[in-house]
Amino acid sequence: MARKISQREARKMRKRLAELDQMERVRRNRWASDYPGGVHLTSLTVSDQAMAGRLAASNLFGAALVAKFDSGTLRIFAILPDKS
């Protein structure tokens, strides 16, 4: 049988959940103002493990991955958010 929690614990958990929800909203919307109306064009599967690692690490640091097609080459840039 699950143990009952006090109202104090419940309030503390609700507050923490609200904080986590807000952090997630901020994380998801971090680049929305920089790239308004952005449209997902396609998905690519990365088979190169080193490349996959670099892309995953960029995401861990909160960077936006931006791609530019230039003379037959897809260039991928990791842009860190402005700390100001």
Q: Where are the domains of the chain?
A: 7-79
d(CA 75, CA 62): 19
Predicted confidence at residue 15, as pLDDT, reads 96
Distance CA 59, CA 27 (A): 11
- Mean pLDDT score, 45-49: 90
pLDDT confidence bin for 84, thresholds 50/70/90: low
Q: What is the share, in percent, of the chain residues with pLDDT greater than 70?
A: 83
Q: What is the pLDDT of residue 72?
A: 92
Q: pLDDT tens-digit profile of 3-26?
A: 899 999 999 999 999 999 998 877
pTM of the model: 0.50
User: How confident is the model over 51-55, as a mean pLDDT?
Assistant: 91
